[in-house]
Amino acid sequence: MAKKFKVKVNGKEYIVEVEEIRERRSAPRVAIEAPKAPVEAKPSPKVEEKLVEKPVQPEVRAGEKVVRAPMGGVVMKVLVKVGDEVKSGDTVIVFEAMKMENELKSPYSGKVKEVKVKEGEMMETGQVVVVLE
């Protein structure tokens, strides 16, 4: 499967397509959408792959209603605090994703039991951001 990358060299942007090859003995095939230039791809012996484990989010207790992030992004504003009453459709978080400001609305009515994000934090898709009771 080929992957495309945007690469900037000396102020010019190029689209680079790299095709992975399953055989270890061959170098990947590289295509560049630019004027023809010789390219040689060699695996770097200094590159290390590391698995970064994400913290596991604790499960929500029965009877609680949760508001989850529909997509990853940066929390711009938290509009609720513990103890606030929220109606279904109320905006609880304003976040930036894909260079756009988005409103996260609660699908439930209830009292805010916990706010799990702060302004300026990254949130991930599916992350619990507000817990209601």
- Annotate 50-79 with DSSP letters as a single string: ---PPPPPPPPPTT-EEEE-SS-EEEEEE-
Instruction: Compare 55 and 100 and report the one with higher pLDDT.
Output: 100
CATH for 65-132? 2.40.50.100
Q: What does the domain layout of the chain look like in residue ranges?
A: 2-33, 65-132
Per-residue pLDDT tens over the stretch 67-113: 999 888 899 999 999 999 999 999 999 999 888 899 999 988 999 99
| Residue 31 pLDDT > 90 | no
pLDDT at 4: 72
Instruction: Compare 119 and 2 and report the one with higher pLDDT.
Output: 119
Give pTM, 2 decimals.
Answer: 0.54
Helix (H, G, I), strand (E, B) or coil at 24: coil
